[in-house]
Amino acid sequence: MTFYTKSQLAHWGEALAKNFLEENGILIRECNYRTSSGEIDLIGVKDTRFIFFEVKTRQSVNYGFPEEAVDFKKLEHIESVIWDFFESNDIPDCDWQIDVISIIRNPGTSKYEIEWFENVLE
């Protein structure tokens, strides 16, 4: 069995999510966008809507499903980074949403499960 470190797992999951989203029609504009407020894993665009992706990857569900780690406090944090992104890129009022990509990696194989939770603020 090959277990990744937390950092390796995060990078693997984000790369997998990026490919998955591109295959599903999302134009990825930024990866690991950082401001003084924090970081957003992936920023994509579909049609005229910005989509801010939080990617959560786990090697087991012993401590819960990946998407369960995105709680109200985490969403507030992401929203702060979104406003920084809009301000620093001089983007006026536009449509946007926050989505969560949940990945469970089976360390013993190349298999994984990926789920896309759309517009989690609604």
Per-residue confidence (pLDDT) for residue 110, from 0 to 100: 78
pLDDT over 70 percentage in the chain: 99
Q: Going from the N-terminus, what domains does the chain have, and what CATH number goes with each?
A: 6-117 (3.40.1350.10)
Provide the residue type at 50 as one letter.
F
Residue 13, pLDDT > 80, answer yes
Question: How much is the pTM?
Answer: 0.93
The helix/strand/coil state of 81 is: helix
Q: Identify whether the C-beta of residue 100 lies closer than 8 Å to the C-beta of residue 75.
A: no
